[in-house]
Amino acid sequence: MKENNNKNHNGNGHTEISGAEAVINILIAEGVETVFGYPGGAIMPIYDNLMNVEDKVTHILTRHEQGAAHAAQAYAMVTGKPGVCLATSGPGATNLVTGIANAYLDSVPVVFITAQVVSTLIGTDAFQETDIIGVSMPVTKWNCQVKSASEIPEALSKAFYIATTGRPGPVLVDITKDAQIERLNFSYSKCDYIRSYNPHIPLHMKEIESAAILINHASRPMIIAGHGVLISHAEKELMMFAEKTGIPVALTLLGLSAFPSSHRLYAGYLGMHGNYAPNVLTNEADLLIAVGMRFDDRVTGNLKKYAPDASIIHIDIDAAEINKNVKVDVAINNDAGETLKSLIPLVNNNSYEKWIRAFRICDKTEFDTIIKNEIKPESGEIKMGEVVKLISDLTKGDAVIVTDVGQNQMVTARYYRFTEPNTLVTSGGLGTMGFGLPAAVGARLGSQKKNVISFLGDGGFQMTIQELGTIMQYNIGVKIVILNNSYLGMVRQWQDMFFSKRYASTEMVNPDFAAIAAAYRMPAKKVSERDELEPAVREMLATDGPFLLEVTVEKETNVMPMVQPGASVSEIKLTH
Amino acid sequence: MNQEYTLSVFSEDHIGILNQITIILTRRQINIDSITASESAVRGVHLITIVVRTTPELIQKVVRQMEKVIDVLKVFAHTSEEIVYQEIALFKVPTKVMMSGNIVDQVVRNHNGRLVEVTPEYMVIEKTGHKDEIIELLRFLEKHGILQFVRSGRIAITRQVKELHSYLKEMDTATRSKIPEESIYN
């Protein structure tokens, strides 16, 4: 045996290398340039080989595996390429689970590679052994365990193929330590076929034609578009379809940035804290055209009272989403872009001036009762909305916006004006507090944009605050905006509205965030007065490298409007 | 209204499929009446047969969620009229009891049971049929004393004319096939 050589040619044109080196070669073959992760005992062979290719693959050492998972997801969201995340066995793998679930609910392609104890110890409760295949099964699109080096190429090629095709999602490949060390005759080709999995669904013109008939005969139609539009890169098709038909476009939270906020047909943001017009008018519409969205309960409110007068056309690539929450009249189980492309020639040029006016009237009501005071308050403490609005105005949409979860997220979704696709990174389905800071790391590394701005609450920031270390180590130029109300704001809002203002465990005593930033050698500014806000924001945006801006905002304020739990979207409350 | 459905889940023969299928039922709080698994007529394709009681709406959602599992090829949900189905049961009874009166005779003639093993101490009776027929025999033998009883899950054959082969071929045509046909269906 030629054990001392790193690479042996066996005469078949194949190269004999270790399983760990095969993993690295595959990452390079799949075009992976950045990976996020955290080493540990079982994954050491992979890390050792990663060190040999530092010029090709950059590894970002986060401060916790959850941070690596969120960063990899955000990287995938802004680049459109799969994120890759490494973790060791046992606690390394279990620490990923929140991040995996988050990527699963938001359909983001991330390839998770976890290490496993040596194969002879599996099932024995060995040190740092967990059944991560069993644990991750309900939150991955696919997972598999590899116990010998020769299985690595097939497992990883399937992983990349499954993660990135159809409705994307996270996959997990668990590789035993001995499989990483064992040698194999390496050759690699990308996977493009799995018998039991067909992401390329043929278009059925009959359904497209039925949809066109409904569209051409509607008098109060509304497009409700979601993340599927962005995943499918169908923003142009959506725009062409909307402009030809003259139908207003409302967006879900994850659909934000798929259609410009400034467009005359933009109908607003849907959902529990969305805009007044699209929520109220959902129940007046006679046709809903749902594109790449899944009728989440935060969008529909009470299903029994949802869109009672509307026929529904549902375009979604995931067959399991069709008729899951809402019964639809025409189901098109296909890619958003492909479907819109074939639909556009069949629909009539049209305009719905009277119907659009109904949206503008609602918009005025919302502006007068809520927005005006949120973005341009005359006096009193600083409001979250005015911070977001100011940053929106100063960046003019030329930024990637990252949010945490809660009031900071809802206010950002409401008041930031998105102009370009894929410029919002947020945790939608899972609503993961602690997402915002590590996601900003991944977004900054994936995006060409200078300004990657993360809006965080004081609660969520402290859930993953350790990632300041990652930002320092790699000098990642993220702008951190902490909207500090010294409360878990959204929970406090619900306590205010539904639990008789009994603020159970929602008030927070916070540290000096600027001092923490200083310890991480990060410039920081704390703002409590309105006249200090704009200069501080300008300073932040002019700074190369990371910057932390803490804004003391109004303590007890509720994000309105709100579709209360159990209420219909048309019962959305402007005031409480 | 809840009704009985027989799910036929055709899948690749990979570790963990059964788990991936059953967690879908667990999440929907659907109880499994019976479950069996074996290879199907297509080599390499496994068939899991699950009997559940649920609503027509929910069964369709569950079928689509099961088909979403990467290694699942095709899922059918059938009502009892749409399938031919059987279950098998084994009874262990003391020989002494069986030899008193005409019990053996009744088991064989009236209940279509079959003696598969006879020893001086015990007899093993096999009964194939629908659940109610098996339960009927169980009630009969209970009166005389049973040492052991076990009933299998349901196995089912569909009455539909279109067979799995044609579904597999359709799926294959839809996919950009890179694999020669004979290696897929042999």
Nearest-Cα distance to chain B for A167, in Å, is: 10
Residue A58 burial (CB count, 10 A): 15
A511-549: b (≥16 Cβ within 10 Å) or e: eebbebbeebebebbbbeeeeebeebbeebbeeeebbbb
Closest CA to A172 of A200, A146, A198: A146
Helix (H) or strand (E) holding A538: helix A530-542
Tell me the Ramachandran region of residue A545: left when phi exceeds 0, alpha when psi lies from -120 to 50, beta otherwise.
Answer: left
The answer to whether the CB atoms of A134 and B72 lie below 8 A apart is no
What sign does the dihedral B64-B69-B75-B77 (CA atoms) show? negative
Mean pLDDT of A185-205: 93
Cα separation, A38 vs A61, whole angstroms: 6
Contact A320 B61 (CB under 8 A): yes
3-state secondary structure of A314: strand
pLDDT for res A105: 98
Q: What is the pLDDT of residues B96-120, one digit of tens each?
A: 988 888 888 899 899 999 999 999 9
Half-sphere exposure of A117 (CA within 13 A, CB side): 15
**From the CB of residue A378, how many other CB atoms can be counted at a distance below 10 Å?**
7
Mean pLDDT of the region A512-533: 97
Confidence at residue B165, expressed as pLDDT on a 0 to 100 scale: 78
Burial B3-26 (b: 16+ CB within 10 A, else e): eebbbbbbbbeeeebbebbbebbe
Q: Looking at the domain assignment, is residue A85 inside a domain? A: yes
Please report the DSSP string for A455-497 in residue order.
EEEHHHHHHSGGGHHHHHHHT--EEEEEEE-SB-HHHHHHHHH
Sequence ranges of the domains in chain B: 1-78, 84-151
A497 is a domain residue: yes
Would you state the pLDDT for residue B182?
41
Of A312-326, A380-394, B148-162, the range with the lowest mean pLDDT is: B148-162
Mean pLDDT value across residues A355-369: 98
Q: Which residues of B touch A316 (CB under 8 A)?
A: none
Provide the pLDDT for residue B167.
Answer: 79
Q: At what angle do helices A407-415 and A489-498 cross, to 10 degrees?
A: 100
Q: Is residue A408 domain-shared with residue A475, that is, in the same domain?
A: yes
Residue A249, classified by CB atoms within 10 Å of its CB into exposed (0-12), middle (13-18) or buried (19+), is: buried
Residue numbers of A between 107 and 146 with CB closer than 8 Å to B: 133-134, 137-138, 141-142, 144-145
Nearest CA in chain B to A158: B70
- Are A170 and A112 a contacting pair, CB within 8 Å? yes
> Mean pLDDT across the stretch A95-99?
98
Mean pLDDT of A536-559: 97
Number of folded domains in chain A?
A: 3
pLDDT at position A14: 67
pLDDT at position A402: 98
pTM for the whole structure? 0.94
Q: What CATH fold (topology level) applies to the domain B84-151?
A: Alpha-Beta Plaits (3.30.70)
Q: Which of A65, A237, A386, A467 is catalytic?
A: A65
CA-based max dimension of chain B: 68
Q: What is the pLDDT of residues A129-141, one digit of tens each?
A: 999 999 999 999 9
Kindly state the percentage of chain A with pLDDT values over 70.
98
| Average confidence score pLDDT of chain A | 96
Catalytic, out of A16, A66, A129, A177: A177
Q: How far is B87 from chain A (nearest CA, A)?
A: 29
Residues A175 and A211 reside in one and the same domain: no
Q: Is A349 left (phi over 0), alpha (psi -120 to 50) or beta?
A: beta
Assess whether the region B1-78 and the region B84-151 belong to the same CATH fold: yes
Structural domain ending residue among the three candidates A358, A393, A426? A358
Q: A187 — contact with chain B (CB < 8 Å)? A: no
| CATH number for the domain harbouring residue A323 | 3.40.50.1220
Q: Which helix (H) or strand (E) covers residue A387, if one does?
A: helix A384-395
Shared domain for A333 and A469, answered yes or no, is no
Across the interface, do A195 and B175 touch by the CB < 8 Å criterion?
A: yes
- Check if B67 contacts A (Cβ < 8 Å): yes
Task: Answer whether the bond into residue A561 is a cis peptide, omega within 30°.
Answer: yes
pLDDT of residue A320 exceeding 50, the answer is yes
Interface test with A, best of B12, B70, B170, B181 (most A CBs within 10 A): B70
Does A345 touch chain B if contact means CB atoms closer than 8 Å? no
| Secondary structure letter of residue A248 according to DSSP | -
Write the pLDDT tens digit of every residue in A450-497: 999 999 999 999 999 999 999 999 999 999 999 999 999 999 999 999
One domain, residues A19 and A128 = yes
Helix/strand/coil for A15: strand
Lowest mean per-residue pLDDT among A75-84, A111-120, B161-170: B161-170
Question: Helices marked H in A256-345 — which ranges?
Answer: 276-282, 297-300, 336-343
Distance from A137 to chain B by nearest Cα, in Å? 7
pLDDT value of residue A152:
98
Spell out the CATH class of B1-78: alpha beta
CATH (domain of A163): 3.40.50.970
Is B79 near chain A, with CB under 8 Å?
Answer: no
- Per-residue pLDDT tens digits for A139-175: 999 999 999 999 999 999 999 999 999 999 999 999 9
Residues facing B54 on adjacent strands: B3
Give the separation between CA A175 and CA A148, rounded to whole angstroms: 8
Short-list A210, A262, A269, CA closest to A239: A262
Query: What is the enclosing helix (H) or strand (E) of A48?
Result: helix A44-50
φ, ψ for residue A154, nearest 5 deg = -65, -45
CA distance A454 to A443: 10
Q: Are A230 and A422 in contact (CB under 8 A)?
A: yes
Task: Write the pLDDT tens digit of every residue in A45-55.
Answer: 999 999 999 99
> B1: pLDDT confidence band, cut at 50, 70 and 90?
confident
**What was the pLDDT predicted at A513?**
98
B1 exposure class (CB count in 10 Å sphere: 0-12, 13-18, 19+): exposed
Question: Which CA distances in Å does A372 have to A365, A369, A376, A386?
Answer: 10, 7, 6, 10
Beta carbons of A202 and B72 less than 8 Å apart = no
Question: Which of the 8 DSSP states describes residue A447?
Answer: -
Q: Does A319 touch chain B (CB under 8 A)?
A: yes
Q: How confident is the model at residue A321 (pLDDT cuts 50, 70, 90)?
A: very high
What confidence category does residue A12 fall into, taking pLDDT thresholds of 50, 70 and 90?
low
Q: A201 and B65: CB-CB below 8 Å? A: no
CB contact under 8 A, B175 and A320: no
Q: What is the mean pLDDT of residues A194-200?
A: 91
Checking if the pLDDT of A113 tops 80, the result is: yes
Tell me which residue of A447, A452, A337 sits closest to A76, measured CA to CA. A447
Q: Tell me, what's the pLDDT at A13?
A: 57
With beta carbons under 8 A apart, name residues in chain B contacting A320.
61, 64-65, 67-68
Residue B101 confidence (pLDDT): 82
Active site annotation includes A3: no
CA distance B158 to chain A (A): 21
Reported confidence tier of residue A5, pLDDT bands at 50, 70, 90? very low
> To the nearest whole angstrom, how far is the Cα of A162 from the nearest Cα of chain B?
8
E strands, B72-147, in order: 72-78, 83-94, 114-118, 122-129
ipTM, 2 dp: 0.89
Q: How many CB atoms lie within 10 A of CB A475?
A: 11
Alpha-carbon gap, residue B181 to B179, rounded angstroms: 6
CA trace torsion A197, A202, A206, A210 (10° rounding):
70
Position A501 pLDDT exceeds 60: yes
For A326, the 3-state DSSP assignment is: coil
Report residue A475: phi and psi, to 5°: 50, 60
For the stretch A437-450, pLDDT in tens is: 999 999 999 999 99
Determine, for residues B68 and A318 on separate chains, whether the beta-carbon distance falls below 8 Å: yes
In the residue annotation, A128 being an active-site residue is answered as yes
Q: Where are the beta strands (DSSP E) in A200-294?
A: 221-225, 249-251, 266-269, 287-291
Say yes or no: A181 and A211 in one domain: no
Is the pLDDT at A15 greater than 80? The verdict is no
| Better-predicted residue by pLDDT, B143 or A101 | A101
With 50 as the cut, is the pLDDT of residue A3 above it?
no
Give the pLDDT band (50/70/90) at residue A324. very high
Q: Are residues A315 and A388 in the same domain?
A: no
Residue B179: which pLDDT band, with cuts at 50, 70 and 90? very low
d(CA B124, CA B111): 14
pLDDT of residue A1: 38
| Residue A288 main-chain phi, psi, to 5 deg | -110, 130
Displacement of CA A404 from its chain's centroid (Å): 11
Please check the confidence at residue A218 and state whether its pLDDT lies above 80: yes
- Give the range of the structural domain holding residue A101, as residue numbers without chain letter: 8-186
B168/A141 touch (CB, cutoff 8 Å), yes or no: no
